[in-house]
Amino acid sequence: MKLAWPQLVGEWELWAQAIAVWTIAIYAFDNISGQKDSRSPSKADRWRSGERSLRIAVAATAGGLLVGVSSGHFWERLVIAGFLALAVLVLTAGRPRFTAAKRAAEWEIAVNATVVIGMAFIVASFAPLVIDPVFVLPMTKGRVAATFAVISAAFFVVGGGTRIVRGILDKVEALPPVRSATISTSR
């Protein structure tokens, strides 16, 4: 049994773009400061629910557009968009549960690894059908893939890396306490 894996430069380009969509949807507007929400619990829950819905919409829309805007490629578009949307939902819904159980680092690593490997498999399975990308940049496909890989890595290092480090520190009970920001008005 041979497992599909990206082989061509165009496949790596699509994979890198999909991973960039994933990391931006997850980490671009992430609250990684550790500060608690000052709103009432019901307002904070509504805010998190709305934020999760927005992240899912961004990931699904951008992921679906990566394949192309032609009338074809419906199933490929649906699979990529659905996979990214489901991954956002699973990660964001599981974070509070695994953070409370002091398994936040493992959760963040497991979901990110699943997305990276799963998206590589999906892209390699559909790549021969993907011929009309929405965004064509004035660079070679190899440079486009490298650029999106660097963007993805930057978002993951800042967002995911911070969550992983905070999860490890929380597990060993070395997480520093969160200080409230106070502004001094005296001179």
pLDDT tens string 166-181:
999 999 999 887 766 5
Cβ partners under 8 Å of residue 20, min gap 6: 148, 149, 151, 152, 155
Q: Which residues of the chain fall below pLDDT 70?
A: 1-2, 31-47, 67-72, 127-136, 179-187
Q: What is the pLDDT of residue 179?
A: 66
Per-residue pLDDT tens digits for 50-75: 888 888 888 888 888 776 555 567 78
Angle between helices 161-171 and 104-126 (to 10 degrees): 150
Token readout for 36 is 């608690």
- For the chain, how long is the longest CA-to-CA vector? 73
Please, what is the Cα angle at 120 between 141 and 59, to 5 degrees? Answer: 85
Percent of the chain with pLDDT over 70: 76
Cα–Cα dist 178/78, whole Å: 41
